[in-house]
Amino acid sequence: MPQPSLNDVHIDAILTNISTAYIQRSGFIANQVFPVVPVDKQSNKFFVYNKGDWFRDEAEIRGDGMEAVASGYTLSTDTYSCDVYAIAKDVGYQLLANADAPLNPKRDATEFVTQRLLLKQEKEWVSTFFKTSVWGQTDQSGVSSAPSTNQFRQWSDYVNSDPLVDVEGWKETILGSTGFMPNTLVLGYQVYRQLKNHPDIVDRFKYTNSSTVTTDMLSALFDIERVLVASAVENTAAEGATGSYSFTHGKAAMLCYVAPSPSLLQPSAGYTFAWTGVSGGLGENVGIKDIPAPLRQADRVQAEAAWDNKIIGSDLGLIAATAVA
């Protein structure tokens, strides 16, 4: 791993209030979509109720002196297992002693490893939830022309597409098979950019004072509690090669029902189980350790977290792939 040298951190007559770093301050949504369930065991079981048992009309008129008709429900179990993720950066004692202001090697190392771990969380979230063939509802695909079953016109086609009709149809699909109205819409940034500039949507707000369509406005328009935009960026190039940057979430949209908080009797499309046995009990939140490494004449700044992203109610989610061109 590359390390800054003494010449890198000591520059003659440097401005003490300016430095340049590429720290993503927003755009990570992995810990915002589904409820986080803190757990004190790295792996365990949890109960799953059979959905069908709760939707049968079995109540009958009870005659005088007669017993009420009996009914019931079945339970099964599922498991979670939290992997521990960690990344570290060594900060040499000489580096600490010679760094000029505004450089702060410990602070910079903390920011560096934190962002790397947040990016890992985001990528793991995408690989679990934000893709096709994982949800119980049939995947939807955006196409450039002649949509057929389970397809729709890509929202970047401002002439022929109708995002309002599409989303309303998907809401009805989830509601009609689960009894729960979807309350969360997750958009990749490129989808959000095309959606907020769609003429049909812009026209709905032409008499407002806003100069641009916001996520709150989309939430009101789609009648969905939350609209979240995923705008994290990653570099997929090897170290030392020319950077190759792309959005982590691609050109997809996801509609789902999310429980307001974790509960035994509260269904949710997904949960994130967070093991509190690492990262100072922070679970899915990044914990930082400052570990002395005297043999290397350095301090090791280490970030760690433990989580398991889990689909709980697969029929409470729907993915729309290639929503824009």
Specify the pLDDT at position 261: 85
Q: Is 18 or 32 the better-scoring residue by pLDDT?
A: 32
Structure-model confidence comparison of residues 325 and 296, the more confident one: 325
Domains and CATH numbers, the chain: 6-10+29-57+75-321 (3.90.1690.10)
pLDDT tens digits for 197-253? Answer: 999 999 999 888 888 999 999 999 999 999 999 999 999 999 999 999 999 999 999
pLDDT at 284: 56
What pTM was computed for the model?
0.86
Burial call 75-95: b when 16+ CB within 10 Å, e when fewer:
eeeeebebeebbbbbbbbeeb
For residue 63, what pLDDT band results from cuts at 50, 70 and 90? Answer: confident
| Contact by Cβ (8 Å): 74, 50 | yes
Long-range contacts (CB closer than 8 Å, 24 or more residues apart) made by 153-158: 154/322, 154/323, 154/324, 154/325, 155/191, 155/194, 155/195, 155/198, 155/323, 155/324, 156/194, 156/324, 156/325, 157/325, 158/198, 158/199
Task: Give the C-alpha separation, 299 to 292, whole Å.
Answer: 5
Instruction: Read off the pLDDT of residues 98-148 as tens digits, 9 standing for 90 and up.
Output: 988 788 899 899 889 989 999 999 999 999 999 999 999 999 999 999 999
Average pLDDT over residues 63-83: 88
